């Protein structure tokens, strides 16, 4: 009887060692893939640019323009049309136009292909014009 229990014990110890080995190999491969992905991400450069035109209704307003969480411009618009050109620096981008006096914010999605975006302001708020 003791011999049979000893065999079962050896079998369970072997299974435990095998399970830890499999977990160890999985952790190594996950670590290697994360490390490779971070080096690829750091080397990524985008050639697309966004041209933002504030065409009408912004004269005299103090505005802040953000692309994602980066401040692009923070000043008073003195003449129209006002144009800002920004290079793409992320996979997905959104433009936020913030009126500094009233803290009103308007958000617009930007294409992954870059392009020219025109905006006007009226009594209803900031609107994107067709391309």
pLDDT in tens, 25-54: 999 999 999 888 776 665 667 888 899 998
Range 94-119 average pLDDT: 89
> Alpha-carbon distance 77 to 101, whole Å?
13
Q: Give the integer Cα–Cα distance in Å for 67 and 53.
A: 14
Say which residue the tokens 């966004």 belong to. Answer: 50
Distances (CA, A) of 32 to 19, 26, 28, 37, 44: 20, 10, 6, 9, 19
CATH (one of 3.30.930.10, 3.40.30.10, 2.60.34.20, 3.40.50.10790) for 49-128: 2.60.34.20
With cut-offs at 50, 70 and 90, classify the pLDDT of residue 3.
low
- Res. 92: pLDDT tops 70: yes
pTM exceeds 0.85 for this model: no
Tell me the average pLDDT of the chain.
86
Tokens of 8: 């079962």
pLDDT at 4: 64
Most distant CA pair in the chain, distance: 96
Instruction: Give the start-end residues of each E strand in the chain.
Output: 49-56, 62-67, 70-76, 82-87, 93-99, 105-110, 115-122, 125-128
Instruction: Give the pairing of strands 62-67 and 70-76.
Output: antiparallel
pLDDT at 118: 92
Task: Assign 2 a pLDDT band (cuts: 50, 70, 90).
Answer: low
Domain ranges (residues) in the chain: 1-44, 49-128
Residue 51's pLDDT is 92
């Amino acid at each position: 009887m003791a011999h049979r229990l000893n065999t079962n014990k050896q079998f369970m110890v072997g299974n435990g060692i095998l399970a830890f080995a499999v977990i160890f190999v999985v952790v190594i491969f996950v670590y290697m893939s994360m490390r490779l992905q971070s080096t690829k991400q750091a080397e990524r450069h985008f050639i697309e640019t966004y041209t933002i035109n504030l065409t009408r209704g912004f004269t005299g307003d103090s505005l802040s323009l953000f692309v994602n969480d980066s401040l692009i411009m923070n000043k008073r618009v003195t003449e129209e049309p006002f144009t800002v050109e920004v290079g793409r620096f992320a996979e997905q981008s959104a433009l936020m136009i913030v009126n500094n006096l009233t803290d009103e914010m308007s958000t617009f999605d930007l294409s992954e292909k870059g392009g020219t975006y025109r905006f006007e302001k009226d009594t209803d708020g900031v609107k994107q014009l067709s391309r």
